[in-house]
Amino acid sequence: MDPILSLAVTVESNPGAYALLLGSGTSRSAQIPTGWDIITLSLVQRVAAAAGEDAGSDPEAWYVDRYAKAPRYSELLGEVTRSRAERARQPRSREWLERLLGLSHQRHEAVKGVGNEVVA
């Protein structure tokens, strides 16, 4: 039997038993922000606000323009916090993920549809 067909039958026969893990490329093509987009770029926006500037619709470009380097999470966290205690109070992964999952229903359905196509 064709391995793809076998996999499709197995997945279809066991609802909830399998998860489809998609890479960043899938999210980006559906215009869904990746974890990096949400966490790092929101920190860039905070850095811009602290500098009295607006990072606009492309925070990464603003950061590169201003600092001549790509934004890195650990460096940004150091810029927006002064102590270990402050860093500990930064939003946790769950809070960032809740923001990510709060995306439009239409985009969520677009990614969810990939799983339906695999089974179909």
**What does the alpha-carbon distance between residue 102 and residue 19 come to, in Å, rounded to a whole number?**
20
% the chain with pLDDT above 90: 17
**Residues recorded for the chain:** 120
pTM score: 0.52
Mean of pLDDT values over 25-45: 77
pLDDT band, very low/low/confident/very high, at 54 (cuts 50, 70, 90): very high
In order of 1, 2, 109, 119, the CA distances from 15 in angstroms are: 21, 21, 18, 10
Domain residue extents for the chain: 1-32+105-120, 33-102
Q: Please list, in sequence order, all residues whose beta carbon lies within 8 angstroms of the beta carbon of residue 90, skipping any fewer than 6 positions away.
A: 77, 81
**What does the alpha-carbon distance between residue 8 and residue 2 come to, in Å, rounded to a whole number?**
10
89-120 pLDDT tens trace: 665 555 555 555 555 445 555 555 655 555 44
Type and span of the H or E element at 34: none
